[in-house]
């Protein structure tokens, strides 16, 4: 009584046994070997697949595929590797998990506040169970989506996950597959979506057994920065494309995930009529069965085509078709915005070496990043000695994911220091206001919301013979920063393979209380974002900005409909010393007719650790506090105010 398989690859539990199917075109014979001792020949199919239903197998059975009577290897589509990538695969029946999120609608990118999380360092225990207990607290802060760093099975006791080798197998060091499902189920119960960082540009070097099944998993046409590029457009590319698009569907169906973050998409090479990114997005949306899905890309060259509609797809109502090239995109939903990060970091720290060298951190840069997304949209980019970016006209601000910290940028500080340790408290609070009130999609890195003192290093538990090479490679990578390349810094650059490096990167939740001021600031700003219509709107053309001084600027958020000025709000950011404006010949500072501006919020409030805020606007002009941000709203004009 065999029923139909859901996926073209992997092990699936059926009523009369387990169906195994694997693509191994370089082999003449494939057997499934159960740890119980049973051995079954799989039937060869004309397309290079091998398959069979094995009655003795059941949920929990461990197995390998023996190839041509020789060595046996894990399943390329293994649902779980309980002993790591070198061990046996395990049959997992997803139907056994009791989901309780049937009413969960999914998540689109609009209106979200993303929280990047590394499951191994988010809690002391480093498990799904421990992380699950913290979800209500994240919801209380205002987090709406958790973005998990990669969990695809990788070797060792700890790592970032970008060297994964088991795309379908959640790494065992965080818990069992059902522990991961329980994390997602509880996140949905708390009102939080979950998206997963996935790596489709390469496979890690250790525990990668794909070539044993087919050398055509990898392309011979392209050079990849981290290893062999996956073959999406060469000979025998069809099954490789199927392996990846099915993976995207699998995360939506078997784990109820709300989307993906695609790592380093500039290293995903494909000249097919339908790009693999468009194909996997379509496949995942279909697999969500009506739930909303959103997919974000990291793309260093800043190609906006990734979020343009595919041919024949209607533009979202919030966007305008301004360019003829807008159709023919890949249909993704969002892009990481490094330009915003780089400019904001230079503004906070004053340091602009290496890949920060083409940013000044000036007010106009920050205004433009807020209004237009990318700063580089086709101009020459001297750091790379070439043009960078593509036009972003017409794209909703929500398409751009903005941040002050992420895993790469914190680790690239050399000492793993978070940016609040590299700037003044006032500047940090002011730029945080810009991040959380601007119309992009804000993202916080774990612990950022309470000013975590723990560093976040690059760590990877590689095999002993390569550990030294990884450390030297890391030192060479950081040497692009002249300050970090100095001999005096070498003793402060930690060994990625040292377990202490991993342990030091873990959060201490006691700091939610000891750092209560910055924690409250994040909560209050996210409440403002939720409750103030102009801050939650993420509307194209919904604001304008002006430079007030060398380190000061304002953003005016327009009420809806535009022209109804009583709903306007001002965000003024001053990263320099106290600024007095008298006169103030800037139209964006003008209050609505017969009204004045009053203070709604200040980053210098005493409860945040600030020094207090004197009246900002009066009949005598403006006095804008230094190293601060203020939010102003219209109020009725009184006789006492007018001179």
pLDDT in tens, 186-213: 999 999 999 999 999 999 989 999 999 9
Domains, the chain, ordered by start = 10-92 (2.60.40.10), 114-198+255-518 (3.20.20.80), 540-636 (2.60.40.1180)
Six-digit token pair at 349?
Answer: 């720290």
Residue 641 has pLDDT above 80, yes or no: no
Q: Does residue 113 sit in helix, strand or coil?
A: coil
Mean pLDDT of the chain: 94
User: What pLDDT does residue 642 have?
Assistant: 54
- Residue 561, preceding bond cis, omega within 30 degrees? yes
Enzyme catalytic residues? 263, 298
**Tens of pLDDT along 512-549?**
999 999 999 999 999 999 999 999 999 999 999 999 99
Which whole-number Å values give the CA distances from 149 to 120, 195, 336, in the listed order? 10, 9, 14
Q: What backbone torsions phi and psi does residue 613 show, to the nearest 5 degrees?
A: -130, 115
**Closest CA relative to residue 624, chosen from 556, 546, 549:** 549
Residue 2 has pLDDT above 60, yes or no: no
Which pTM was predicted? 0.96
Where do we find the tokens 């109020």? Answer: 635
Range in 409-418, 426-435, 474-483 with the lowest mean pLDDT: 474-483
Task: Assign 472 a pLDDT band (cuts: 50, 70, 90).
Answer: confident
**Tens of pLDDT along 327-336?**
589 999 999 9
Instruction: Write the CB contacts of 403 (distance below 8 Å, at least 6 apart in sequence).
Output: 116, 336, 337, 340, 341, 409, 435, 442, 443, 444, 445
Range in 105-119, 301-315, 493-507, 610-624 with the lowest mean pLDDT: 301-315
Where do we find the tokens 């421990």? Answer: 130
Q: CB count, 10 Å around CB of 100?
A: 12
Reported as type and span, the H/E element at residue 277 is: helix 276-287
Q: Report how far residue 227's alpha carbon sits from residue 600's, in angstroms, rounded to the nearest whole number.
A: 52
- Residue 496, preceding bond cis, omega within 30 degrees? no
Residue 576 has pLDDT above 90, yes or no: yes
For 325-383, the three-class secondary structure string (H helix, E strand, C coil) is HHCCCCCCCEEECHHHHHHHHHHHHCCCCHHHCCCCCCHHHHHHHHHHCCCCCCCEEHH
**Tens of pLDDT along 78-113?**
999 999 999 999 999 999 999 999 999 999 999 999
Range in 324-338, 431-445, 489-503 with the lowest mean pLDDT: 324-338
User: What pLDDT does residue 322 have?
Assistant: 41
């Amino acid at each position: 009584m065999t029923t139909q398989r859901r996926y073209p690859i992997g092990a699936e539990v059926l009523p009369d046994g387990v169906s195994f199917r694997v693509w191994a075109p370089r082999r003449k014979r494939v057997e499934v070997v159960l740890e119980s001792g049973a051995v079954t020949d799989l039937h060869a199919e004309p397309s290079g697949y091998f398959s069979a239903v094995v009655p003795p197998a059941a949920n929990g059975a461990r197995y390998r595929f023996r190839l041509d009577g020789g060595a046996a290897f894990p399943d390329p589509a293994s649902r779980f590797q309980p002993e790591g990538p070198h061990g046996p695969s395990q049959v997992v029946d997803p139907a056994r998990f009791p989901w309780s999120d049937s009413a969960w609608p999914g998540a689109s990118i609009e209106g979200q506040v993303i929280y990047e999380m590394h499951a191994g360092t988010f809690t002391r225990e480093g498990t799904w169970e421990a992380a699950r207990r913290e979800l209500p607290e994240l919801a209380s802060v205002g987090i709406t989506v958790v973005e998990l760093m990669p969990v695809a099975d990788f070797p060792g006791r700890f790592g970032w996950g970008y060297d994964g080798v088991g795309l379908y197998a959640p790494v065992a060091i965080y818990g069992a597959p059902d522990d991961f499902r329980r994390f997602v189920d509880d996140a949905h119960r708390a009102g939080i979506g979950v998206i997963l960082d996935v790596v489709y540009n390469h496979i890690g070097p250790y525990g990668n057994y794909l070539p044993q099944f087919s050398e055509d998993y990898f392309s011979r046409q392209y050079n990849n920065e981290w290893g062999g590029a996956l073959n999406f457009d060469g000979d025998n590319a069809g099954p490789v494309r199927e392996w990846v698009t099915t993976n995207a569907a699998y995360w939506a169906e078997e784990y109820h995930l709300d989307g993906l973050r695609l790592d380093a998409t500039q290293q995903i090479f494909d000249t097919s009529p339908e790009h693999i990114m468009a194909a996997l997005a379509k496949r995942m949306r279909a697999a969500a069965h009506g739930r909303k899905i959103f997919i974000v890309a990291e793309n260093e060259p800043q190609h906006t085509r990734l979020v343009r509609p595919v041919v024949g797809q209607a533009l979202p109502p919030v966007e305008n078709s301004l360019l003829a090239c807008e159709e023919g995109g890949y249909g993704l939903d969002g892009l990481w915005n490094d330009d915003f990060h780089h400019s904001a970091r230079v503004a906070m720290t004053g340091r602009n070496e290496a890949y920060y060298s083409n940013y000044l951190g000036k007010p106009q840069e920050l205004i433009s990043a807020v209004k237009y997304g990318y700063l580089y949209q086709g101009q020459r980019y001297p750091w790379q000695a070439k043009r960078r970016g593509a036009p972003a006209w017409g794209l909703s601000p929500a398409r751009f994911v903005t941040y002050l910290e992420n895993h790469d940028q914190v680790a690239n500080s050399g000492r793993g220091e978070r940016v609040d340790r590299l700037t003044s408290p006032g500047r940090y609070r002011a730029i945080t206001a810009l991040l959380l009130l601007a119309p992009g999609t804000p993202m916080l890195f774990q612990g950022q919301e309470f000013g975590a003192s723990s560093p976040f290093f690059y760590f990877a538990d590689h095999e002993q013979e390569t550990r030294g090479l990884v450390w030297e490679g890391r030192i060479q990578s950081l040497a692009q920063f002249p300050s970090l390349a100095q001999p005096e810094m070498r003793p402060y650059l930690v060994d990625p393979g040292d377990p202490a490096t991993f342990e030091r990167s873990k959060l201490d939740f006691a700091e939610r209380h000891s750092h209560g001021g910055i924690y409250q600031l994040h909560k209050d700003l996210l409440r403002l974002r939720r409750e103030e219509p102009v801050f939650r709107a993420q509307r194209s053309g919904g604001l304008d900005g002006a430079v007030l001084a060398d380190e000061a600027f304002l953003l005016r958020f327009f009420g809806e409909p535009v022209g109804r000025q009583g709903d306007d709000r001002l965000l003024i950011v001053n990263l320099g010393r106290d600024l007095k404006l008298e006169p103030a010949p800037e139209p964006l500072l003008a209050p609505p007719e017969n009204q004045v501006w009053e203070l709604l919020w200040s980053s210098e409030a005493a409860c945040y650790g600030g020094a207090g805020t004197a009246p900002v606007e009066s009949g005598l002009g403006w006095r804008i506090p230094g190293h601060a941000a203020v939010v102003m709203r219209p109020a009725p004009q009184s006789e006492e105010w007018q001179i």
